[in-house]
Structure 1
Amino acid sequence: MTDVVWLALSIGALLVGLLVGLLIGLARRRATQRRPAGPTVAALVQRLVHSSHNGIVLLNRFGDVVLHNPRAAELGLVRNQRVDARAAKAAEVASETGEPVEIDLSPLAAKGGRQPEAVLGEVRPLGDGFTAVDAADESDAVRLEATRRDFVANVSHELKTPVGAMALLAEAVQDAADDPDAVRRFTGKILHEATRLGTLVTELIALSRLQGAERLPELNTVDVDAVVREALGRARLAMDSTGIEIATDEDSGLLVAGDRTLLVTALSNLLENALAYSPPGSPVSVSRRLVDGYVEISVTDRGIGIAEDEQQRVFERFYRVDRARSRATGGTGLGLAIVKHVAANHGGEVKLWSKLGTGSTFTLRLPAQGAVAPAQRTSSGSDDMPVPMTTAPTTDPGGAL
């Protein structure tokens, strides 16, 4: 074979080798390009565990903490890298049986503040001696259930009173069938109790609506002056019976975003409350003003006043400062609770200033809407009492609210 042939074969082999190497390189480059960039699956799982709203702890066969998220420490499942003894015991049971174990991990001692009250969890076996503890803070659900039980108990008690009274009065009417005067007297009392029962049911429905059982209506632009006028109209009968004339300031032109019916109900409750707890003929007033973007509607009376230790409780359902007076006036104990929820659902609040023997001022604060004339604005010192009417108490300290 000549040298030329050998040279040709060598060159051919070299070219084939180069071509094969080039093809292999291209294949590897394409495979590398198809491989996704970013965190590994293990890193993603760790991120998921750490961002979970539940407390998660991973234990090995010896009960040692392999992994836990910050939430587990917040709930008290892990302290100083050691898991709660109750969880450790449940992990042993889960490993032996191969079945999940539900466990109560609630704090054994109250620590004060907004600490979890009810922590419920589940321990699941993962195989090879590893177990996972998954715990959640159920405090809100527990509080809600306790509130529901208290509410049902209170409602049951409050409904029994007028229903029982009407039953007794009906029997008295039957026994006095031959005495027209007695029949009229007893039927009048039945009517009073029936009215009180109807008011109680109506207010329970309203309170249920405000607490989320029913969707609230869309908020519209509401004229504050129109709300005051309508609430005064509703209170006319109570004014006539008590001999109290409610004084008002001039129209303000203020606007709020809200539901007019609910706002009228809230203000009516404040007016009726002031009338019910004021001596006959004493002054009661309503005032309106704008403070730092909030419309303040204040109802001031010179009634019996409220002790400082009771001023927060008056907004609780069925709580009454003077039970005897409430019974006499047909009060349900729901009026101020409704006011509080109406204010909250409108992005506002209700404030109270009161002093025994002097009187009280309830202030409904709601976010204002629309442009307001400069003359309607107040100074930045917005913690003063509402500007008093001529009939309002003059001994209220500024900043009491």
Structure 2
Amino acid sequence: MGWVAAYDSGVSLFGGLALAVGTLLAGVVLGFLIARSRRTRARRRPVGPTVAELLHRIVQSAHNGIAVLNQFGDVVMHNPRAEELGLVRNNQADERARKAAEVVAATGEPVEIDLAPLESKGRQPAAVLAEVRMLGDKFTVVDAADTSEAVRLEATRRDFVANVSHELKTPVGALALLAEAVQDGADDPDEVRRFSGKILRESTRLGTLVTELIALSRLQGAERLPEMHSVEVDAVVTEALGRVELTAESADINVTADEPSGLLVDGDRTLLVTALSNLLENAVAYSPAGSPVSISRRLVGGYAEIAVTDRGIGIAEDVQKRVFERFYRVDKARSRATGGTGLGLAIVKHVAANHGGEVRLWSEPGVGSTFTLRIPGHRVNGQQLPVRQAMPAGETTELADRNVGQLRADHGGAT
């Protein structure tokens, strides 16, 4: 029986070894599978910036100027925009920001401060408004924004209100005085007729002013513009000439136009006629008696160009951009004498813009001026219709150049 016991003992030992080996192999396999799974997940997991890195990128690319100050007022972090706005110079915060940071650190309440430049320096913004807030752990953040455009618009609004008040008060006051004069001269027919004529002129001027104010308001977005249609440029020129015919005859101004062009544009005919009429009336108003005013038209680079040229007083270069401002007048005395409202060129500018075009100006004092209204030509399915062959690329692209030589020749070669 001894050999049986020995056999049983050997079998038991062999079974134990087999179990141990099997367990070891299972562990190795399991470990391999786990490791491979982790490597696979690691490969699949996207590698990207940390939250801190993302926050840093946001600060650096922010449109506003941002600077973080410690409890001593030192700049510990800022973005390039902070330097552009003058919030940080040479790694030092603006003194106004530092003082505001001290107040915020003491009270815990945010503070708004004006960081407008104390003196003009190149392209630095004219107005900067900043807010200083607590970040915790004795750190504060200064968030500065360029408010130059908002300040400019507010100044424009104030000027507009002041100008409108003045322009309306003048004819209204005149009407009141003239009405009293009519009452006082009720027994004198000649006086009544004279003052009645003045009342009619002032009331007409007042009505024109109100009409143009309403038109300008609509063009600036208060009301939606009518749908665009195909409009004949020649028809616009003809109607505009008809509107200024009497005014030109009264001023002894000869208005001429070139040959019909066959050009078409996409737009609103009434607005285009109004714009061109304003340019013609402006040319007549600022031209001496007996001088000519001309209209020319052509297609250039997909734009229909209508140019109005006069031999009038001209406009100095330093004020040429201002002539399109509301109520701006080159010659205030002449404009008031002709009943101008100062809104005509502003309306032309907005009509052109609302049609996807522009208005250009060439002028020299004592020589004359050319205003060119440029409107995109008519398109069908996105394609420009070949109404008229555009000028070759090597030729001029502004109608003003066509008239400059003649204008100078008429004035003895003036420059």
| Shorter-chain TM band | 0.7 to 0.9
Shift of the 373–210 alpha-carbon distance from structure 1 to 2, 3 Å rule, reads closer
- TM-score normalised by length of structure 1: 0.87
Q: Does 1:125 align with 2:134?
A: yes
Shift of the 355–46 alpha-carbon distance from structure 1 to 2, 3 Å rule, reads closer
- Corresponding residue for 1:395? 409
For residues 395 and 211 of structure 1, what CA distance do their matches in structure 2 show? 40
- Corresponding residue for 2:304? 295
Q: In the alignment, is the contact (CA less than 8 A) between 2:117 and 2:126 conserved in 1?
A: yes
For 1:61, what is the secondary structure of its paired residue? Answer: coil
Kindly state the Cα deviation for residue 125 of structure 1 after the two structures are TM-superposed.
1.0
Q: In the alignment, is the contact (CA less than 8 A) between 2:367 and 2:408 conserved in 1?
A: no
For residues 289 and 34 of structure 1, what CA distance do their matches in structure 2 show? 64
For 1:2, what is the secondary structure of its paired residue? Answer: helix
For residues 315 and 242 of structure 2, what CA distance do their matches in structure 1 show? 26
Q: In the alignment, is the contact (CA less than 8 A) between 2:263 and 2:388 conserved in 1?
A: no
For residues 373 and 21 of structure 2, what CA distance do their matches in structure 1 show? 94
- TM-score normalised by length of structure 2: 0.85
For 1:252, what is the secondary structure of its paired residue? Answer: coil
Unaligned residue ranges in structure 2 (runs of 5+): 1-7, 379-383
AA matched with 2:69:
L
Cα shift readout 1:104-146 (whole Å, capped 9, x = no counterpart): 122111113x421111111111111121111111111011101
Kindly state the Cα deviation for residue 37 of structure 1 after the two structures are TM-superposed.
3.5
Shift of the 228–29 alpha-carbon distance from structure 1 to 2, 3 Å rule, reads same
Q: In the alignment, is the contact (CA less than 8 A) between 1:299 and 1:361 conserved in 2?
A: yes
AA matched with 2:12:
V
Q: What is the number of equivalent residue pairs in this alignment?
A: 396
Cα shift readout 1:283-308 (whole Å, capped 9, x = no counterpart): 22111123344332111223343445
- Decide which of 386, 401, 410 is 1:372's aligned counterpart: 386
Larger radius of gyration: 2
Moved over 6 A (4+): none
- Decide which of 116, 124, 130 is 1:106's aligned counterpart: 116
Q: In the alignment, is the contact (CA less than 8 A) between 2:262 and 2:388 conserved in 1?
A: no
Shift of the 202–128 alpha-carbon distance from structure 1 to 2, 3 Å rule, reads same
For residues 76 and 15 of structure 2, what CA distance do their matches in structure 1 show? 67
- Corresponding residue for 1:8? 15
- Decide which of 335, 347, 353 is 1:338's aligned counterpart: 347
For residues 54 and 304 of structure 1, what CA distance do their matches in structure 2 show? 46
For 1:247, what is the secondary structure of its paired residue? Answer: strand
For residues 250 and 73 of structure 1, what CA distance do their matches in structure 2 show? 58
- Corresponding residue for 2:239? 230
For 1:53, what is the secondary structure of its paired residue? Answer: coil
RMSD of aligned residue pairs (Cα, Å): 3.0
Q: In the alignment, is the contact (CA less than 8 A) between 1:169 and 1:186 conserved in 2?
A: yes
- Corresponding residue for 2:360? 351
Residues 1-400 of structure 1: pairs in structure 2 closer than 5 A: 2-16=9-23, 18-19=26-27, 21=31, 25=35, 28=38, 32=42, 37-112=47-122, 114-369=123-378, 370-372=384-386, 377-378=391-392, 380-382=394-396, 385=400, 387-388=402-403, 393=407, 395=409
For residues 61 and 129 of structure 1, what CA distance do their matches in structure 2 show? 5
Shift of the 118–284 alpha-carbon distance from structure 1 to 2, 3 Å rule, reads same
Q: In the alignment, is the contact (CA less than 8 A) between 1:297 and 1:364 conserved in 2?
A: yes
Cα shift readout 1:323-351 (whole Å, capped 9, x = no counterpart): 23222221101111222232333343323
Shift of the 240–396 alpha-carbon distance from structure 1 to 2, 3 Å rule, reads closer
For residues 108 and 305 of structure 1, what CA distance do their matches in structure 2 show? 38
Q: In the alignment, is the contact (CA less than 8 A) between 1:94 and 1:100 conserved in 2?
A: yes
Shift of the 36–378 alpha-carbon distance from structure 1 to 2, 3 Å rule, reads closer
Q: In the alignment, is the contact (CA less than 8 A) between 1:278 and 1:302 conserved in 2?
A: yes
For 2:400, what is the secondary structure of its paired residue? Answer: coil
Unaligned residue ranges in structure 1 (runs of 5+): none
Q: In the alignment, is the contact (CA less than 8 A) between 1:305 and 1:357 conserved in 2?
A: yes
For residues 376 and 129 of structure 1, what CA distance do their matches in structure 2 show? 68
